[in-house]
Amino acid sequence: SQTIHQWPATLVQPVGSPLSLECTVEGTSNPNLYWYRQAAGRGLQLLFYSIGIDQISSEVPQNLSASRPQDRQFILSSKKLLLSDSGFYLCACSAYGNTIYFGEGSWLTVV
């Protein structure tokens, strides 16, 4: 089964600073990869999904970008963070079906 590693687990960043959240997947090849954001412990919002290397779709316009330099690596970035970027970010993957497996998440606080 898939294992998702996501880091850092928590970070506090000042407004205007850059961001890089990393996610790697083990136990599968050619997975679909996702970045979700969750605000206030409620519903999840899909930010980006990728069906292959350098194939990334953005779901909502925002201050963030995503990259997939390798098959099992997915990176969420920002050049300049906003206060509104604070939240809980979850990397996820799926393969051979619709079940999505999640990482443990990254808490981002922008101050």
26 binds another protein (CB under 8 A): no
Number of residues counted as binding another protein (CB under 8 A): 26
Considering only the stretches 17-25, 45-53, 66-74, 75-83, report the one whose residues sit in contact with another protein under the rule CB under 8 A. Answer: 45-53
> Sign (positive/negative) of CA torsion 80, 35, 75, 5?
positive
- Percent helix, strand, coil in the chain (nearest 5)? 5, 60, 40
In whole angstroms, the minimum distance from the beta carbon of 97 to another protein comes to: 6
Asked whether position 100 contacts another protein by CB under 8 A, the answer is: yes
What is the DSSP secondary-structure string of 48-63? EEEEETTEEEESS--S
61 binding another protein? (CB under 8 A)? no
Nearest distance from C-beta of residue 44 to another protein, angstroms: 4
Distance CA 102, CA 111 (A): 27
Of the candidates 89, 88, 61, the one whose C-alpha atom is nearest the C-alpha of residue 74 is 89
Query: Which range touches another protein (CB under 8 A), out of 17-25, 60-68, 75-83, 94-102?
Result: 94-102
Rounded-to-integer distance, Cα 83 and Cα 111, Å = 6
Q: Which residues bind another protein (CB under 8 A)?
A: 4, 6, 32, 34, 36, 41-44, 46, 49, 51, 88, 90, 92, 94, 97-105, 107
